[in-house]
Amino acid sequence: MIQIEGNKCDFCGCCVGVCPVDCIEVMESIIEIDDEICIDCDLCVFICPIDVLSSVATATI
Amino acid sequence: MWQQQQFDCIVVGGGPAGTTFAQVASRGGLSVLVLEKDRDIGMPVRCGEAISDKGLRYFHDPDPRWIQSTIDRIKLTAPNGTEIEFDLNDKGYILDRRIFDYDLAHMAVQEGAMVVTKAYVNGLIIDNDMVCGVKGNYLNTPFEIQAKFVIGADGVESRVGRWGGLRTQVKLKDMESGIQKTVSGIEVQSNKFEFYLSREWAPGGYLWVFPKGNKSANIGLAISGYYAKEGKSAQKFLDEFLQWKYPECSVLTTVVGGIPVDKTLKCMVADGLMLVGDAAHTVNPMTGGGISSGMMSGMAAAETAIELLHNKKEPTRANLNSYEKKWRKLRGKKHEKYYRIKEAIFRFDDDDLNRIADGIAAVKEEDRSLRKLFSIAVSKKPTLLIDVMRLFTGL
Ligand SMILES: Cc1cc2nc3c(=O)[nH]c(=O)nc-3n(C[C@H](O)[C@H](O)[C@H](O)COP(=O)(O)OP(=O)(O)OC[C@H]3O[C@@H](n4cnc5c(N)ncnc54)[C@H](O)[C@@H]3O)c2cc1C
Ligand code: SF4
Ligand code: SF4
C-alpha cells in the first residue's frame, strides 16, 4: 500500500505519469490512490521529487 | 452555460499545447471549449521558462511583458569545476509563464474559444469505440459534454489518452523527476544560461540556473527515474546544491514536476481523440524543453481538425492520421534523433565529462567550432564515436 505524507504533495502529476495501472488521481489540491487497483510497484515512490509517497507493508491474514 | 452547449472540440488542459490548439482551431471557425482543472491558467509555473527566440517567433513576436531576461551565452560547469562558455547562435529568453500562458489563453478566447478553470475532467464519453465527449466535475457538480473531437492536452499525467486506449504511461527511465526554486538575492549574470553536469549534482539530467533579472533566478534540476530509484530525491540534490552555492538566498517559489523525455508516442490519436504536448510526449528528449514543441503539436492537431470538419470527414483514427504525419515532419523525426543522443550522453560518467570538458577548455573560445568540439569529445572518449554512429544509423 502507498502512503501519502500529510500535506506535502505539490499536485504535479509526475507520479500519475509513471503509474502502470492509472490508480492515482490528482485534482487541484487533492491526491488519491486507489488501493484496490494499486499493484505496489513503487514507481510513484521513486519518481516523486519531494518524497511525498512511501510504501507500507500491508498485513496479510 | 457551457455545460448545456455542444462544441466541435473539447480540450482537456489549459497549458500552452491546449491553448495553442484552441487559438488555431477557433481562428479556423471551430467551436472550442478548454477545460482546466486548476484555478488559474499558467499557475503554478512548473517550468524553467527557457525558450529560444526561433521557437517563440514561430508563433508570436516576443511581447516584452513575457520576457524576464534575454540570453546570448551559455556556461557549462563540468563535475571537476571546469567551466566552458560560448555564445548562442540563436538567442533565448527566460519567460514569465504566468503572463505568457495567460496571454495564450486570452488569445484563444479572442478567437472565439471558451476557457473554463476549476473544471476537472474524470472520464470520456465513448460511443461505439468513438470518443465523443468528456465527463467531469465543476465546483462539486458533475457534467457531461459532447463534442466531435476531444483533445488530450493534460500534460505529464496524460490520463485522457489512457481512457481512450492509448499507451501513454512513461517508463521510469524516461521520466525526469524535477524540482525548481525561484530564488532572490543572488549574484547571477542576466544574459547567461548556466548548466551543471554531473552525477553528483543531477544524475541522468542536469542542473540549471536561469536568470530572471533583479538578482533572481530559476534554479532547478531534473534527475532520471533510473537514478531516482536509488532513493535520493530531486529535492535532496537541489537542497545540497543551494546550500553549497547560494547558502544565503531567499526562496520565493518552489515547484516540482515530471518531464517525459521520451520519443513521441507512436500512436497519438484514437477515434475522436488527439493528444498534444506533454500528453503525447512531445518534449525534446535531449533538452527537456517542451513549451514550443507542445505548441507546435497543438497547432498541427488544430489544422487537422479544421481540415476534417471543413471537408465533412469523420474524426476516425485513419483520418486523424494526418496530424501524426504533420508532427513527424515538424519535430517527431528530429526528436527520435535527440532521444538517441540523450541515451548516448546518459552513458557518460563524471570522468568522461571531465575529460571532454578539460579538452574543450584548452581550446580558445574563438576556435571552438562544432567540428573541433566534436573531435575533442571523440578523442577524450573514443566510444562516443560508436554512440554517434549508432545515432546516425539508427541502431
Ligand atoms: C521542472 C520543469 C522545468 C521545465 N523547464 C522547461 C524549460 O525551461 N523550457 C521548456 O521549454 N520546457 C520546460 N519544461 C517542460 C514544459 O513545462 C512542458 O513541456 C510544457 O508545459 C508542456 O505544455 P502542455 O500544454 O503539454 O502541458 P502543461 O503545461 O503541463 O498543461 C497541462 C494542463 O492540463 C491540466 N490538466 C491535467 N489533467 C486535467 C484534467 N483531468 N482535467 C482538466 N485539466 C487537466 C493541468 O492542470 C495543466 O494545466 C519543464 C518542466 C518541468 C517540470
Ligand atoms: S505503487 Fe505502482 S501501482 Fe501503486 S500507485 Fe504507485 S505507481 Fe501506481
Ligand atoms: S509526484 Fe509527488 S508531488 Fe507530484 S503529485 Fe505525485 S505525490 Fe504529489
Domain positions in chain A are 2-55
- Top-confidence range, A54-58, B76-80, B300-304, B352-356: B300-304
C-alpha distances in Å from residue B234, one per residue of A31, A52, B94, B152, B181: 20, 12, 22, 28, 12
B162-191 pLDDT, tens digit per residue, is 999 999 999 999 999 999 999 999 999 999
| Delimiting residues of CATH 3.30.9.10 domain(s) in chain B | 69-93+172-260
B166 interface with A at CB cutoff 8 Å? no
Q: Which residue has the higher pLDDT, A22 or B379?
A: A22
Partners of residue B159 in chain A, C-beta under 8 Å: 16, 22
- Tell me if B31 sits within 8 A of B9, measured CB to CB: yes
Tell me what ipTM this predicted complex has.
0.95
CA-wise closest residue to A41 among B303, B169, B77, B122:
B169
Scan for cell 515538424, then name that residue.
B330
d(CA B379, CA B356): 8
pLDDT, chain B, mean:
92
**Does CATH number 3.30.9.10 belong to domain B69-93+172-260?**
yes
pLDDT in tens, B247-257: 999 999 999 99
What average pLDDT does range B78-105 have in this prediction? Answer: 93
Cβ distance A50 to B234 less than 8 Å, yes or no, reads: yes
Give residue B369's pLDDT band: very low, low, confident or very high (50, 70, 90).
low
CA of A26 to the centre of ligand 2 (A): 13
pLDDT at B327: 98
pLDDT tens for residues B227-277? Answer: 999 999 999 999 999 999 999 999 999 999 999 999 999 999 999 999 999
CATH 3.50.50.60-classified regions of chain B: 2-45+98-170+264-331
Q: Which residue among A4, A9, A38, A46 is best mutated to probe the pocket of ligand 2, counting the most ligand atoms within 8 A of its Cβ?
A: A38
For residue B174, count other CB atoms closer than 10 A to its CB. Answer: 22
Is the pLDDT score of B390 beyond 70?
no
Has this prediction a pTM greater than 0.80? yes
B-chain residues within 8 Å CB-CB of A49?
Answer: 177-179, 233-235, 256-258
What does the pLDDT read at residue A43?
98
Assess A28–B contact: CB distance below 8 Å, yes or no.
yes
What mean pLDDT do residues B219-233 have? 96
Mean pLDDT over B83-92 rounds to 88
User: DSSP secondary structure string, B167-195?
Assistant: --PPPGGGEEEEEEEEEES----TTEEEE
Of B38, B39, B260, the CB nearest to A17: B260
pLDDT value at B294 more than 90: yes
pLDDT score recorded for residue B10: 98
pLDDT band at B392 (very low <50, low <70, confident <90, very high): very low
Helix (H) or strand (E) holding B269: strand B269-270
Alpha helices in chain B (DSSP H): 16-27, 53-57, 97-110, 159-163, 225-228, 234-245, 291-310, 317-327, 333-346, 350-361, 370-380, 383-393
Pick the CATH number of B2-45+98-170+264-331 from 3.40.50.720, 3.40.50.970, 3.50.50.60, 3.40.50.620: 3.50.50.60
Q: Which CATH class is domain A2-55?
A: alpha beta
CB distance from B169 to chain A under 8 Å? yes
Q: Is the model's pLDDT at B22 over the cut of 80?
A: yes
Above 50 in pLDDT, residue B350?
yes
In this structure, the number of other CB atoms found within 10 A of the CB of residue B248 comes to 8
Among the residue ranges B10-14, B20-24, B82-86, the one predicted with the least confidence is: B82-86
